[in-house]
Amino acid sequence: MKSNGRKSPVRRPIAGRRRETIEPVDLKIVNALLDDARLSYRQIASKLGVATATVAQRIRNMEGIGVLRGARPLLDYEKLGYYFHVLTQVKVKHGKLFAVERRISAMPHVYAVYDHTGGTDATVLARFRERSELDRYLKAVQAIPHVERTETQLVLNVIKDNISRLPDPL
């Protein structure tokens, strides 16, 4: 290609395509939303010293690539009557983990299912209003085919239960 003395044009993303890279300003926006998800684009822009249009575009991009997946309220579950919060460790027969996890995640009191390394295969987090609901849940989990054993711990105190800042922003 010959150089005609002119600068080459700046390449811009093709219209309709989303960037899949996360930049420092994106993480600052995420932290602002973690502080208060009800902030307007204008308020976030003012807080960060960027244009409102920049905040709007970056939020749309992060939604489009799945970084931001909605806004939810922070709940006090005890005030809603959920006094029993449990962690259940589940050991599953080899090769059947995903099928068992799908069954468990469909249970109404379950709000998180993690598979992991260690002596058990999965950890399940669930909340209950009454001891009888907890009892039915435990028996239902133990009755799922391919569940070898479970161990359930009752949470006595919650020290931290939310992420208020990203652990290591750029």
- Tell whether the model's pLDDT for residue 15 goes beyond 80: no
The model's pLDDT over 24-63, given as tens digits with 9 standing for 90+, comes to 999 999 999 998 999 999 999 999 999 999 999 999 999 9
The answer to pTM > 0.85 is no
Instruction: Find, among 139, 158, 163, the residue nearest to 88 by Cα.
Output: 139
pLDDT given for residue 3 in this prediction: 47
122 or 5: which leads in pLDDT? 122
The DSSP-derived string for 10-79 is: PP-PPTTPPP----HHHHHHHHHHHH-TT--HHHHHHHHTS-HHHHHHHHHHHHHTTS---------TTT
Question: Is the distance from CB of 87 to CB of 152 less than 8 angstroms?
Answer: yes
The model's pLDDT over 53-108, given as tens digits with 9 standing for 90+, comes to 999 999 999 999 999 998 888 888 999 999 999 999 999 999 999 999 999 999 99
Token digits of residue 84: 């029993």
The model's pLDDT over 101-136, given as tens digits with 9 standing for 90+, comes to 999 999 999 999 999 999 999 999 999 999 999 999
- Confidence band, pLDDT 50/70/90 cuts, at residue 167: confident
What domains can you pick out in the chain, each with its CATH number? 24-64 (1.10.10.10), 84-154 (3.30.70.920)
